């Protein structure tokens, strides 16, 4: 009986509307947290796993040695590598493809890499213009690496104390 009366009073005095308006008015004066993407960006953890990149050593030599451990560990079979003996006798890739449609961004490739060649950057806002565009080849991956080397380096450094 009491419950029914309480509900009637609440309904006729627009109780729920008031509760809602309370939140609205509170947020109206609070500090805004909406981010104006892409002009503004949310902070990202140094461990964030985004688009892949192949890195180089400071002297410009590519790091990847075609050991194919990333290919072996990849749970989605997204990586395809072909290797050869380069003229100077070192082991290098002739092909390094990642299919981003297959990739599940688990980061195993990065974990497996003995020379920190394949890494996942903080880039997540990328798009393809064609279906085939989902496969990035060695050249593309190295370009991403070259462009973002400082960011990649910084993220590794920030994370290094927890590794």
Partner 1 sequence: MSEIEIEIDGNLVKAKQGDSIIKIADREGIEVPRFCYHKKLSVAANCRMCLVDVEGAPKAQPACSTPVANGMKVHTKNDKAKFAQKAVMEFLLINHPLDCPICDQGGECELQDVAMEYGSDVSKFNEGKRIVPDKGIGALIQTDMTRCIHCTRCVRFGAEVAGIVEMGGTGRGEGVKIEPFLTEGIQSELSGNMIDVCPVGALTSKPFRYEARTWQMNAVPSVARHDLVGSNIITQSYRGKVKRVVARDNDSINETWISDRDRFSYEGLSHESRALKPKVKIDGEWQEVEWQEALDFTIDGIKNNAKNPEQLGVLASKYSSLEEYFLMQKLARSFGSDNIDFRIDQSDLSDGGSLESSITLSEIESIDHALIVGSYTRLEQPMINHRIRKAVLNGASVNTINSKQFDFNFNTELDLLSAPQKILSTLHAILKSLHLKIGTDVPKYLSKVIPDDVHNKIADDLIASKNGVIVLGEHLNSNPSSSAITNLIFQIAQITDLKIANLMLSGNSHAAERVGFMPTKNGMNAISMFNENTRVFMLMDVDCDYDFINLQSAADCFNNEDVFVVSMSSFENESLHTNANVILPMASYYEASGTHINFDGLVQSFSASVKSPGDSKPGWKIIKVLADLLELEGFDYINSTQVKDEALQSSKLKSSFDDVNAEIDDSQITTHWQYAPYATDSVSRRAKALQESNIGMINSAFVSKSTAKRLDINGDDLYLGVPVSITDAVAEDYVFVHTNQARRVEGG
User: What is the contact surface with partner 1 in residues (CB under 8 A)?
Assistant: 65-69, 71-72, 83-85, 90-91, 114-115
Q: How far is the CB of 119 from partner 1 (least distance, A)?
A: 16
**For residues 66 and 103, which CB has a smaller minimum distance to partner 1 in the complex?**
66
Q: How far is the CB of 93 from partner 1 (least distance, A)?
A: 10
**For residues 83 and 134, which CB has a smaller minimum distance to partner 1 in the complex?**
83
Closest to 98 measured CA to CA, from 147, 53, 156: 53
Q: How far is the CB of 92 from partner 1 (least distance, A)?
A: 8
Is the separation of the CB atoms in 120 and 110 below 8 Å? yes
Q: Is residue 94 helix, strand or coil?
A: strand
**For residues 76 and 151, which CB has a smaller minimum distance to partner 1 in the complex?**
76
Distance CA 39, CA 138 (A): 30
Cis previous bond, 38, omega within 30: yes
Q: How far is the CB of 81 from partner 1 (least distance, A)?
A: 9
Q: How far is the CB of 73 from partner 1 (least distance, A)?
A: 11
Q: Is residue 89 helix, strand or coil?
A: coil
CA distances (Å), origin 34, targets 117, 128, 156? 36, 27, 28
φ and ψ at residue 20, rounded to 5 degrees = -65, -45
**For residues 67 and 106, which CB has a smaller minimum distance to partner 1 in the complex?**
67
Distance CA 49, CA 12 (A): 52
**For residues 35 and 115, which CB has a smaller minimum distance to partner 1 in the complex?**
115
């Amino acid at each position: 009986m009491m419950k029914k009366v309480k509900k009637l009073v609440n309904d006729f005095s627009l109780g729920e509307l008031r509760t809602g308006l309370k939140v609205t008015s509170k947020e109206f004066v609070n500090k805004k947290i909406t981010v104006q993407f892409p002009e503004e960006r949310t902070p990202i953890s140094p461990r964030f796993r985004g688009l892949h990149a192949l890195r180089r050593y400071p002297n410009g030599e590519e790091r990847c040695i075609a050991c194919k451990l990333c290919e072996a560990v990849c749970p989605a079979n997204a990586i395809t590598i072909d290797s050869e003996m380069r003229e100077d006798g070192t082991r290098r890739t002739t092909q390094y493809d990642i299919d981003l449609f297959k990739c599940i961004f688990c980061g195993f490739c990065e974990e497996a890499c003995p020379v920190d060649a394949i890494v996942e950057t903080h880039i997540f806002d990328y798009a393809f213009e064609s279906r085939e565009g989902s496969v990035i080849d060695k050249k593309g991956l190295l370009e991403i690496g070259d462009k973002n080397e400082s960011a990649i380096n910084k993220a590794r450094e920030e994370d290094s104390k927890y590794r």
